[in-house]
Copies of this chain bind each other. A is one copy, B any other.
Amino acid sequence: MTRDAAPAAPARPLRRDAELNRRRILESAREVFSQRGLEATLDDIAHHAGVGVGTVYRRFPNKEHLVEAMFVDRLEEVGAMAEAALAADDPWQGFLDFAWKTVELHSSDRGLREVMLSKAFGRERVAEVKNRLVPLITEVVERAQASGQLRPDFSVTDMPMLHQMIGEVIEYTHAVRPEVWRRYFALLLDGLRAEPGRAELPHGPMCIDDLDAAACAWRPPRHG
């Protein structure tokens, strides 16, 4: 559990009810951010936690600090996944597992996806964890390449783009067919093998009506 936000806090313990509320807020933040992304309001989170907005602001100076407190742990999870991939006997299988698992994580947590792919959220701590991830993922990729199973012209910097692409599919379709992203990720992975091959797609295509429904729900991103 991440501690509160004060820089070098003397760690004065919170009053019992306050501590309870703090937990409730964190819990709600996790739920709300994962469903609605970082655009969720602190008002939303407060309401969802059954406390007043003021209570949230008393505990976290602003949204950014809350995000920070929220996502450091989850980012560490990704690190653990990378380590598991490196421990795998078959480098290619390790790579595949890592890729599927991280995308799965993104699919279940919109907030995490946004923190991972943008530098606009979270501050030092988040950036630091992310930096620690880079060499790890690089090795996952290079090991798979060295084993001759991942195409040699693939690059670590392609990884976030993979996530970006599938992230968009998830965003577009989650209300209609929350699992179709697997189809497109499989398609993508079929283009990644060094020895070309075709895996069976793990999910059928959408029908036109699904697509229509998705198009109705979708709103394009807002500026930069």
Contacts and interface: CB of A to CB of B under 8 A. Distances in A.
Interface of A: 36-39, 113-114, 117-120, 134, 151, 153-155, 157-158, 160-161, 164-169, 171-173, 175, 180, 183-184, 187-194, 196-198, 200-201, 205-208, 210-212, 215-224
11 contacts: A119-B215, A153-B200, A157-B207, A160-B211, A171-B221, A175-B224, A187-B191, A194-B198, A218-B224, A219-B223, A220-B221
A134 B207 CA distance: 13
B218 A219 contact: no
Most central of A160, A161, A175 by chain B CB within 10 Å:
A161
Nearest to A189: B191
Contacts of A118: 215, 218-220
A189 B131 CA distance: 32
A39 B222 contact: yes
A222 to B, nearest CB: 4
A39 B161 contact: no
A198 B151 contact: yes
A200 B191 CA distance: 12
